[in-house]
A and B are shown apart, each in its own frame.
Chain A
Amino acid sequence: MGNRLFGPLADVAADAGYTEPPRRMGFFTDTSVCIGCKACEVACKEWNALPEPDAGMMALTGMSYDNTVELGANSWRHVAFIEQERPVPAPAGNGNGHAGAGAGAQRWLMASDVCKHCTHAACLDVCPTGALVRTEFGSVVVQSDVCNGCAYCVSACPFGVIDRREDDGRAWKCTLCYDRLRGGLEPACAKACPTDSIQFGPLDELREAAAVRLADLHASGETGARLYGHDPSDGIGGAGAFFLLLDEPEIYGLPPDPVVTTRDLPAMWRWAGAAAAVMVAGIGMAFAGRSARPGG
């Protein structure tokens, strides 16, 4: 199998050099059952000991119940809230009830966003230090003991997921709880999720489950339901974390047709030996640059 930067890729871990890797693991976030409780945000921050915000910085955004706003270095799950009103046929002979003409059916969309763990991950492709790495589970993680904070990955991500932390300058994002997976545990967000909106498992199984769920929703009249990031032939080769949405991706703040930003790069611009050398340099830097911040 050749190394590729776009298009379907059957075994992403094998492509990264793992022989006999475990099955590719991922998230299926079914937003049709998300209740916007933000347990995922909290469970993620608690497990990963993400830095706490200063009390003085906490402020209401006025954006529905969303005060997290976006994924970032210190928020690896983000629940979006979208309030909608859709027109419905006026009930016959009913002059009372909801005041105001044209009051429609209320809808409050909630969706927990996360790193997509792309099959073709631009962050990984552009990282000059080897800080970003494909794991045996097919996920993409930043190795904080290597990252030097160059931020190439930040501008490369088609979803705006990966972000530099202000105090230590390094890039951070969801790891698919790599440490937990190594111990046979599921990611903290998926475990906490009260309604199983966030499901974790082998990606192929999740894709099957998602297809069934989508068909059920369509059968029940939820015609706007669609999958997002599930298709291996899309611009990122399919996501390791994909979604069931009830409306257009843009409504949720997701790019409608994300494309890996390194698609047009000449292939093979890096080679393995260089990666190993950079790794050694990265270790030294990690010791020098480690933050004194307590674990939180």
Chain B
Amino acid sequence: MTRRTWMSNWPVYRQIAGTDRLGRGVAARSPGTAAAEPRTERAQRVVSSICPYCAVGCAQQVYVERVNGTDTVTQIEGHPDSPVSQGRLCPKGAASKQLVTNPGRQTSVLYRRPYGTAWEALSLDRAMDMITDRVIKARAEHWQEHWQSQRARRTLAMASLGGATLDNEENYLIKKLWSALGAIQIENQARI
């Protein structure tokens, strides 16, 4: 594919008086058209990623541009080098920029107190502290050292569900901490 460079060398008089007598092509080009280029050319970085939806594992390229001082994802599309997907994406993969940038994302911590009828704001640090206390308490209050006289060393007071959209590293630490806590009710979509 030839690039745009040849276009800019054309003298304007040839557009007017020259070959495009009907004014449907060269002569009618607007500044916007003349300046057209893919926005991905403005990206500072192209990051290698994998589609977060199904398990086919299509490779993605994530274009990051600094917009108003903030690194912003401006485009996600298929990575042509992948032997799995060769640059292709399904509608969900093709929509995955919106998964990141859509305004419906909840980006602050919310808290609903017992019997509450509305969400309240809570700092992340405070939420982490409250959750830590609740884990320690539930575990202490519902510890089963034995089950039917056999050693069990566990608690059935906490459950966990999820992991199938998580990274392996995340699942690994969840299972590791969960086991050290003595909690066993841990499940994910693989069972659902």
Contact = CB atoms under 8 A, between A and B. Distances in A.
Does a CB–CB distance below 8 Å link A and B in the complex? yes
Nearest to A144: B32
Contacts of B15: 17, 272, 276
Interface in A127-164: 130-136, 141, 143-146
Interface in A9-52: 13-20, 22, 37-39, 41-43, 46-47
Contacts of A179: 36-39
Interface stretch (B83-91, B120-128, B165-173, B178-186): B83-91
Contacts of B27: 17, 130, 272, 275-276
B23 A276 contact: yes
A192 B94 contact: yes
A13 B25 contact: yes
Nearest to B76: A46
Nearest to A134: B25
B16 A276 contact: yes
B17 A272 contact: yes
Given A185-B38, A275-B24, A283-B31, 12 more contacts: A16-B24, A17-B18, A39-B89, A43-B94, A124-B24, A145-B32, A179-B37, A179-B39, A182-B36, A192-B77, A192-B88, A275-B23
Given A182-B36, A182-B37, A272 B3 contact: no
Contacts of A188: 77, 94
B94 A39 contact: yes
B40 A275 contact: no
Contacts of A131: 30
Contacts of A211: none
Interface in A245-296: 268, 270-276, 278-279, 282-283, 286
Interface of A: 3, 13-20, 22, 37-39, 41-43, 46-47, 124-125, 130-136, 141, 143-146, 178-185, 188, 191-194, 268, 270-276, 278-279, 282-283, 286
Given A39-B94, A46-B98, A181-B1, A141 B22 contact: no
Report which residue of B33, B90, B94 has the largest number of chain A beta carbons within 10 angstroms of its beta carbon: B94
Nearest to B95: A42
A38 B37 contact: no
Contact of B28 (A38, A268, A275): A275
B26 interface: yes
A267 B32 CA distance: 28
Closest CB pairs A-B (n = 6): A16-B25, A17-B20, A275-B23, A17-B26, A17-B19, A183-B38
Given A133-B25, A188-B77, A275-B23, A178 B36 contact: yes
A233 B129 CA distance: 75
19 contacts: A14-B19, A17-B15, A17-B27, A18-B20, A22-B1, A39-B93, A47-B75, A124-B24, A132-B28, A133-B28, A133-B29, A144-B32, A146-B32, A185-B40, A191-B87, A268-B22, A272-B16, A275-B20, A282-B30
Given A37-B90, A191-B78, A191-B88, A15 B25 contact: yes
A42 B51 CA distance: 15
Given A39-B91, A133-B33, A272-B23, A279 B38 contact: no
A143 B16 contact: no
Given A143-B32, A145-B31, A16 B26 contact: yes
Nearest to B33: A143
Nearest to A20: B6
Contacts of B90: 37, 39, 192, 194
A22 B26 CA distance: 14
A17 B98 CA distance: 40
A41 B33 CA distance: 23
A180 B24 contact: no
Contacts of A41: 91
A156 B11 CA distance: 32
B88 A193 contact: yes
A141 B36 CA distance: 12
B97 interface: yes
B21 interface: yes
Contact of B91 (A42, A133, A135, A278): A42
A272 B22 contact: yes
Given A39-B93, A42-B95, A193-B88, A17 B25 contact: yes
Report which residue of B4, B26, B37, B88 has the largest number of chain A beta carbons within 10 angstroms of its beta carbon: B26
A136 B10 CA distance: 13
